[in-house]
């Protein structure tokens, strides 16, 4: 479920529908949201969705985080057809994460 910056760049370039949870290990709300994000990912897989969900530790590539304009965590970004479609900051419940995935379809 964890993705690297190179893998993410490749998926964006290929036009994949991806929802990324950018998190920090120091972040309390990030820890709370992680199981909800994982549950949303499992639900989408079970339903045969084309949207892929990944997590990205911001400490792994600070330069790429700056390039994306990320200022706080948790942040969920949605990408489709090679473009960023939306970016939302803050703790999100499973149902909201699923709604965000639907916006990429």
Q: Do residues 49 and 4 touch, judged by C-beta distance below 8 A?
A: no
Predicted TM-score (pTM) above 0.75? yes
pLDDT tens per residue across span 42-97: 999 999 999 999 999 999 999 999 999 999 999 999 999 999 999 999 999 999 99
Given pLDDT bands bounded at 50, 70 and 90, which one contains residue 105?
Answer: confident
Q: Determine the topology of domain 5-102 in CATH.
A: Glutaredoxin (3.40.30)
Per-residue CA distances from 53 to 41, 76, 102 (Å) = 6, 10, 12
Q: Which residue has the higher pLDDT, 104 or 105?
A: 104
Mind telling me the catalytic residues? 27, 30
pLDDT at 54: 98
pLDDT of residue 30: 98
């Amino acid at each position: 479920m964890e993705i690297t910056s190179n893998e993410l760049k490749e998926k964006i370039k290929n036009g994949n529908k991806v929802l990324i949870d950018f998190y920090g290990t120091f972040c309390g709300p990030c820890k709370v949201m992680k199981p909800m994000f994982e549950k949303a990912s499992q639900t989408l897989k079970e339903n045969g969705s084309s949207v892929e969900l990944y997590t990205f530790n911001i400490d792994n590539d600070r330069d790429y985080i700056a390039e994306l304009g990320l200022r706080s965590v948790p942040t969920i970004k949605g990408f489709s057809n090679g473009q960023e479609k939306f970016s939302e900051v803050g703790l999100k419940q499973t149902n909201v994460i699923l709604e965000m995935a639907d916006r990429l379809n």
